[in-house]
Amino acid sequence: MPDGRPRRLGRYVVDERLGKGGMAETFRVRLDGPRGFVQRFAAKRVLPEHAGDARLGRMLADEARITARLRHPGIVQVFELVDDGGELFLVMELVDGVDLATLLGAAARERLPMPLGAACQIALALLGALAYAHALTDDDGAPLGIVHRDVSPSNVMIARTGDVKLLDFGVARAAESLRSERTRTGARELKGKLGYFSPEQATGAALDGRSDQFAVGIVLWECLSGRRLFRAGDDLQTLRLIEEARAPAPSTLRADVGAELDAFVARLLARDPAARFADCGAAADALGPIARRLGAGPGALVDFVADTRALEPPDRRDPTASTEEQHPSASPRRRAWPLALAAVATLAVATALLWPRPPARPVAPPPQPAPAPAPEVTAPAAIRLHVDGTPDAELLLDGVRLGTIPYDAPLPRATTPRLLVARRPGFRPERRTITPDHDLTLDLRLRPAPAAAPDPDDVPDPFR
């Protein structure tokens, strides 16, 4: 502290302030005990200038009540709500690691794609934590109906051990109450991180656990591609993109992504909730075998974090690299903290969800103010599809027969993903999700089917 004396929050000694937002601030704190005992936590409190706001106090208490029920290794734990002379603050688990937004930014800076196994490990952990939360009941056995509503990279912590932890169930739940309250009073409805909304969330429809599934799909897509999925020039355009829910297959951006993983991501990102998995547990069951084949596990994340140098002090990183340009969800403030803590991400979400955002800062215009002609105006009406692989295998696009391999023919240009299937008697069908917005060259080599394989003319949903 500036005067040299330790600052305290109740019985906790403040080591440092980690961040400050529009309505709350977070600290790294410690609890000192006898004979050198020390335990460290993160603490969040409403800013002193807002301490008299009863609404914010109720929201903080609501967060504490909800998150106190969540006891799962994949969820950052809240230990207590402290009333220190009328000042409320939360005491939370302190995670020694890095948030996913910072990790993605570091990976972009080092030009390192995330290993498929590491990406799948993150998705598996999130689905497991969400399955637990969605199924949670009260003391009488009645479902609590918890939906996270803000699964996003800044709310996902990667510990040094490779464990994955999800933040801020309580903040999202409290934000729903505030949105309802402001809607009744005619005030502008608050928004979270729009780029991770589900289509039903974007339209204000009722939400259940399948909305969180969609958000996990976005996070997994971004881990695989290293870029943002739903991001436009303003909030309205971003919401429109989400409502349309058009996502290129990851394999169109990264060659080592296979058809199984493509199909899994596509199902998480289905526009209609009924087309997604029944629940997050079912989604985790479907991803498990794929993840194991791709080398998923905590070790994959430990190695990747080390490769990206995300936990190194800032002065040991390349000061000329622009993380923000590579993956905008990693903010300069996060990059400044090598030890990404649960409290930092909690503060970021609390500020975004629970306090009106200031007007966006003006962005300097590009050197060439006149935009290039839109692709849909100048591009030809068709692309060229060339397919090599197993000879005489039949090709079907969205169930309609195209021809046989080898295949080379024009295809109508489209920006929506389509399912291409290659099949031949005696072989396993091969599926590939494609987006025909540019010329495509594919190699589809079918594997022989076992003797007891089902009819190869039947192309079932691999996740049903």
Question: Which contiguous run of DSSP H or E holds residue 353?
Answer: helix 342-354
Q: Across-strand partners of 129?
A: none
- Cβ atoms within 10 Å of 208's Cβ, excluding its own: 13
80 close to 43: Cβ distance less than 8 angstroms: no
90: left (phi over 0), alpha (psi -120 to 50) or beta: beta
Cα–Cα dist 215/224, whole Å: 14
- Cβ atoms within 10 Å of 79's Cβ, excluding its own: 15
Q: Which of 99, 150, 168, 262 is catalytic?
A: 150
Cα–Cα dist 323/331, whole Å: 8
On the CB side of 170, how many CA atoms lie within 13 Å of its CA?
25
Cα–Cα dist 456/253, whole Å: 29
Q: What is the CA radius of gyration of the chain?
A: 24
Q: Residues with Cβ < 8 Å from 109, sequence gap 6 or more? A: 308, 317, 318, 321, 322, 323, 326
Question: Which contiguous run of DSSP H or E holds residue 302?
Answer: helix 298-308
DSSP codes of every residue in 87-131: EEEEEEPPP-EEEHHHHHHHHHHHT-PPPHHHHHHHHHHHHHHHH
Active-site residue, 150 included: yes
On the CB side of 185, how many CA atoms lie within 13 Å of its CA?
10
327 close to 227: Cβ distance less than 8 angstroms: yes
Sheet holding 400-404, edge to edge: 400-404, 394-397, 418-423, 430-434
Rounded (to 5) percent helix, strand, coil in the chain:
35, 20, 40
Q: Which positions are annotated as active-site residues?
A: 150
